[in-house]
Amino acid sequence: MRCLRQTPLLVLAALLTLPSAPDARHQARPRIDVSTDAVVRAATAYVSSYQQDFAFLVADELYEQHRLDATGREVERRSLHGELFMTYLPADEVWIAVRDVAEADGQPVGDREDLRRLLQQRNALRGLAQRIATRNARFNIGGVERNFNEPTLPLLLFDPKRVRGLRFDRRSVTTEGDATLVTLAFSERGQPTLVRGRRGPAPSRGEFVIEAGTGRIRKTTFELTDDPVVARLVTTYGHDRKLDLWVPQAFSERYEARRGRERELITCEASYTNYRRFVVTGRIK
């Protein structure tokens, strides 16, 4: 009798654990391909389109630089305020960020170049990229020479000619809201390298945080060694509602040089706000 009384309860329990019919309101999201090849293809397509959308943007830039000695004591600092232009230079076939410094350490910069007039010549002037890179570096402090400190620099690695020379390794797959984020480590194997050191090629390495499916770049970490200097650049992107674009919001740099017992450390932090579009005739939207 005891077993007979238990049987209906066991049957009921089994019925309650059977899978229910799927609810249309809670359908599973389509599976997203998070393989390395798929994510790299998506990022390459995204960057190609992004470069078109990102052309002729300008943002307000606040840029702080610090130089520390071997003991960790700050021996020099610089505060820059101005604008950062992003554009394409057809003659050099390169995307570049153009830094227009209005104030250095609270003092107005008196010899500012008319950047809009300069950019009007971007179709004809070959070598303009090198001129701008040198110009961008003129307010850098410390003994570490550098002219590649641009927040969007690592995106150039997704150029179809360069991406084939990268080695990728998938590190992690995470979710953030509705987005699936894939972290890919990379190392630069092809020639010529994106950055050239004092003695020749300086292959880079680092990580990309990429939104699977869309290929959106959320964060870049870019590192290289040009003995005796080790450099690390990190760019964090955020969504700009007005432009409906993911744009650089924060950019950090670290350069460490060791020469025997001597050590120099340079750290920089930049923030970008008030993005808007500009045209080279001088009108900003």
Let me know: does 104 contact 76? Beta carbons within 8 Å.
no
CA–CA separation, 206 and 21 (whole Å): 46
The structure tokens listed for 166 are 């990268």
Q: Per-residue confidence at 6, pLDDT binned at 50, 70, 90?
A: very low
pLDDT of residue 11: 34
| Sheet hosting strand 217-226, strand order edge to edge | 107-108, 94-104, 74-89, 57-68, 262-277, 245-259, 229-240, 217-226, 204-211, 179-188, 166-176
Residues 186-230 pLDDT 10s? 999 988 999 999 888 999 999 999 999 999 999 999 999 999 999
How many residues does the structure list for the chain?
285
pTM, two decimals, is: 0.84
Q: Which range has the worst mean pLDDT, 42-51, 69-78, 134-143? A: 134-143
Dihedral, CA atoms, 238, 239, 243, 245, nearest 10 degrees? 80
The alpha-carbon radius of gyration of the chain (Å, integer) is 25
Q: Which two tokens stand for residue 245?
A: 């674009």
Confidence category of residue 59, pLDDT binned at 50, 70, 90: very high
Q: Where are the domains of the chain?
A: 33-277
